[in-house]
Structure 1
Amino acid sequence: MAHFVITNKQFERKDGTSQIIVRYTWEGKHYSKKILGLHCKKDDLDPFAQQVTKGFDKETLRGINNKITEIKLRASSILLEYEDPAPKFFFSKLFAEPKEEKQKKATDLIDLYKQWTDSEATSKVYSTTLPHLIDFKESRGNLLQVEEYSKILLKEFEAHLMKNGYIQNNRRIENGEVTKGRSSDERIMFKHSALKKHMKHFKFFGKYLTDLELPIKQSFRDYTFSIPSPEIPDTIALTKEEFDEFFYFDLENNFDLRLAQAAFIIGTAAGGIRISDLYNLTKESFDMQNFSVSFTQIKTGGDVHNPLNEEYIKPHLEFYLENLHKMPTEQEFNRRLKEIGNLIGWERTEVVNEYRGNSKRPTKIKVAIKDNISSKYMRKTFISMLVELGYTKEVIKSFSGHRDDKVIDHYIQLHHHTKREAILGFTPIKPKKDI
């Protein structure tokens, strides 16, 4: 006989909460539908009373439980009225709204985007796009309706960002070299990476709109960014010597910097993992018996099983695992890495290609490693060190996941050895036993 329960999804968000859902059992199989806007920690939901009993102030708890009670009463009524209803029919009735209620729903995309970031979005980083959407709406005569959401609107927003997206200038470029300077009224156009980030947020927002069953054009899924990424991205990374300086640098008396140091070392020495995967690691990701790490990549969905380097990871792993819940935002993590780089005092500079605004051609600028290091260095540094140590492309690709050799070939060029270096390195080593 069909029945339902109020429970949580297995997946936990970064704040430790998970989506509250209605799980419907029909003919021995489980089906679920989320209750929009409701999240809590799994231990805060009483499985018997099917009410949230803690984790929020009294007023919030009352609002959550009133909504759960309303859902329970409606579900019970459906099961009484219809004999053993199929899942699709059950959920359509459970979450159906009268036409007049649907008409009352917000049709302004800004209001809906605020609603999404306040209650549904899994990361607060999505809210960084909101000011640009507000500016976009103003540029369109204060019109930005849900019915317009489509591939065409995404392209229009992209063009708006390319033309109007900027940050305040807090640096100077003299003779192609970046130096720190006072903030000024000068504006610098967004980098292509920032443009793509905001477009990714706005596109992902479309899934929320489909969940609300609002009248949008599904063509938004076909949107692709107009300006392609460079064929070979900048491969700026730490050298083996610099990584070892970072590893041995004493930060025992500075908790925040020590945690950033530990996370960067683990992210690099565990195979050069991406920041999104690093943030999703848990204690269960680590197999201490075989000293390895396993996880599913967020970007590609591939399963990763990497052995760990004990010399690099063991000194930091216990501290890192104890403080996983204190990991800073990605922006703060990157700021701390730069602070460590400046404390170490790296002097090396590199020339990088910088793409901004709607320009298809890069500007070459010189940047200091200590002011450029970020979470992206974990992956790049690991690849660079393997190349520097002479490992084959096949071994490197087994860690990095690259399908072709272009990026790895670029690292090889960076670590190119001259004929003279090869001859000087070709030296006899006396055997331990006399021959």
Structure 2
Amino acid sequence: MDDGTDRLVSVALKSIGCRTNQEEMVALQFRLQQEGFQIVEQISDADVIIVNTCSVTSFTESKTRRLLNSLSQEAPQAEILVTGCLAQQKPQELKNFKSVTWVVGNTLKAQISTILANKRGGIFHLSFDTDLNSFEQGVPSISPDEIGEGFRTRFPLKIQEGCDNSCAYCIVPSVRGPSRSQGLRTVLETASKAIDCGYKELVLTGTHIGQFDKANGGLLNLLEHLSQLSGDFRIRLSSLDPRDLSSSLISLIQTEKKICKHLHVSVQSLCQDILRSMGRPCDDLEKLIETLAGFREKTPTAALGSDIIVGFPGETDENFRTTCVNATRIGFTYAHVFRYSRRPGTRAADFANQVSEAVKSERSAVLRDLIEKSKSGFFEKTASEIQKIIVESESPVRGLTSNYIHVEVPGINMPRNTWLEVAVSSQKRGRFFLAKPFTEKVL
């Protein structure tokens, strides 16, 4: 990395896994630029490649290992810094990879620029303990004014980090640490700054946003305060746990004009026996089903998404049929269907009655087909409504509706970060639904 000249050290960034990882890399990019590093797109131009890893499934872990091997072959001139959840979980294994000079756990992400500047390789890792459990641990949230004006559309407002739950299949609490929240005042100040900078959507993000500041009114209190801020903007929630839902929260999402009509609830299963085995007890599953079905009935053009795991250890055909029946009753507009992935270090990894990969694949296909039918009905209902997008791409014009429909508007030109009312059709181009600009007729 040190060639004896005064030129800037060039850094390429790679990220695997969740939206949180992606947002952290955006924040890290700006931190590195502020510290005098040069960010490059091509790994062939990089002195250093930073890889932000994921360990939520065996697939993402394997993907990380393949990427590291590929990078060392395709960019032999570059040194590699590995960070993220897999670096927190298996630092020594990653350090043994060819070209890996640094391994930085989640607890020390905020120090990556300093670690690079010192030029000394090694493992930089601390476990989560009572002395380290502050919100600031990890990469700091990005400030709204650090993003160039031409790129401002949707601002990721990080409100929380970590998780206090102990799901039997999940490695996240051990690699992200316990739940800790940003202060309410700080969140509101950052939100106000983002609005003043011109952002038109605030996306509330975190590992488990439903655990935000529960001692002081929680997520509901935050949404009420955010909704009172002045400005031309909207608020979007990321994923919620069913245990964090309340009638007041759902009512606010349905009625507050500034909150996107989009609810994503990670149910993981809709069978009581499987939820209990997962360590996700639901005191009244029937009530949850009725609540979510009621949300769809009252707001039929609002998006209702979910995450569902199939093939969890011990899941019988009857258990799976129960989940399918209940998913149909609810009427999800989309769902991320995952085949259970056995993760060492989790309780479920040692459970008996592991389900075969063939059965997992079969169940995944069945559930995806069921959700697709429900999704089709949702789009038929939305065709009668005019939707509003923020233009995020100028050529072609593309954006996201309040109710989570990715649209493309052919044949027009619009500047980024402007509002556009559209009529969405059922025609698609890739993952985008085609839409036309809405022009109100003058009578």
TM tier, smaller:
under 0.3
TM-score by length of 2: 0.26
- Name whichever structure is richer in helix by fraction: 1
TM-score by length of 1: 0.27
Which protein shows a greater Rg?
1
- Name whichever structure is richer in strand by fraction: 2
